[in-house]
Amino acid sequence: MKRRSFLKKTSISAAGMLLSGGYLAGMSDPERYKLTVLHTNDVHSRLDPFPMDGSRLQGLGGVTRRAAMIQRIRQEEPQVLLLDAGDMLQGTPYFNVFEGAPEFTSMSRMGYDVGILGNHDFDGGLELLDKQWHLLDLPILNANYNVQGTVLEGRVTDYRIIEKGPIRIGIFGLGIELEGLVPASLHGGVRYENPLPVAERTAQLLKKKGCHLVICLSHLGYEYPEEDRISDILLGEKTRNIDIIIGGHTHTFLDQPTVVRNADGEAVYIGQVGWAGVILGRMDIWFEKNYKRKWFTCSSTTIGDIRN
């Protein structure tokens, strides 16, 4: 993404997040709660670091390094949430040979709290998902995929409410339309629904259920030239009650989240960290004890970068 376009979309810079609302006066104030959200997307079966072949991503990534980084952050922070925005599978020989088993196993062992299905997660068909599902020790959410009558019924759900200490977080998932991306023989029976009304309805429900923070895991894509094509930007602007959108599909590298205003004029933070697991995204959110006000700081860490 061009820097000029990024700055145009981003209404709050990293420094602005730190300074707003008198945040610096009480960053470690015991009267506030802290939540750390870690996120990945479009890992695409990239379990090993990129080879040292002179390419742009040489030496970066790797599931072992990511696991170590996540473990370190969990030791440093009181409440950590780990999320993935889809396309766990397809992209290296690991998928072709082992049919998703190492990808699902590694995510489960890293302790991902929630994930969603991207379009490439159907590349082995519903039969492969049925075969390997027992290896996924995390809930999979796709609120706009109707999976009734398929092997995913009872496995893929709309939303999940997770409590991290005193903080109640509502999370739901949205997937991209599969027609035209995945052959019907591979996703047969999974029916796509318009994400906008689904998001509006689900986010409102989660707020009514007392969630202090609502997160949408999206595999819709960050932004498109067509103004009416549903994307994370459009989703953030057209709906209510969503605080954070963690996106995927377009492999967009954002060094800071884009901030848009929703239908009520409130800030929505949109994050995406490229692809192949070379970056671990992070958002730290502080809550007043009455949960009426929040502060965000955001960063991302390149996995395997010698500077870290």
Res 39: pLDDT: 98
| Torsion angle defined by CA atoms of residues 66, 38, 86 and 301, in that order, rounded to the nearest 10 degrees | -50
DSSP code string of 172-212: EEEE---TTTS-HHHHTT-EE--HHHHHHHHHHHHHHTT-S
- Which residues constitute the domain of residue 82? 3-18+63-302
State which H helix or E strand residue 66 sits in. Answer: helix 63-76
Task: Please list the residues that pair with 267 across neighbouring strands.
Answer: 261
The answer to the question of residue 31 being in a domain is: no
Pick 255 or 27 by higher pLDDT. Answer: 255
We report the CATH number of the domain holding residue 108 as 3.60.21.10
Strand 156-157 relative to strand 140-141, pairing: parallel
pTM for the complete prediction?
A: 0.90
The answer to the question of residue 230 being in a domain is: yes
Over its C-alpha atoms, the chain yields an Rg (Å, rounded) of 19
The answer to the question of residue 138 being in a domain is: yes
The answer to the question of residue 41 being in a domain is: no
Q: How far is CA 210 from the centre of its chain?
A: 22
Q: Which DSSP letter does residue 156 get?
A: E
Instruction: Give me 114's structure tokens.
Output: 């929630």
The answer to the question of residue 134 being in a domain is: yes
| Whole-angstrom distance, CA of residue 121 vs CA of residue 44 | 9
Q: How many domains does the chain have?
A: 1
Q: Which DSSP letter does residue 124 get?
A: T
The answer to the question of residue 37 being in a domain is: no
Distant-in-sequence contacts of 130-133, Cβ < 8 A, 24+ apart: 131/99, 132/99, 132/100, 132/101, 132/104, 133/104
Give the pLDDT confidence of 180-199 residue by residue, as tens digits.
Answer: 999 999 998 999 999 999 99
| Whole-angstrom distance, CA of residue 230 vs CA of residue 223 | 8
Task: Please list the residues that pair with 32 across neighbouring strands.
Answer: 288
The answer to the question of residue 43 being in a domain is: no
The answer to the question of residue 295 being in a domain is: yes
Q: What is the share, in percent, of the chain residues with pLDDT greater than 70?
A: 89
Give the pLDDT confidence of 65-98 residue by residue, as tens digits.
Answer: 999 999 999 999 999 999 999 999 999 999 999 9
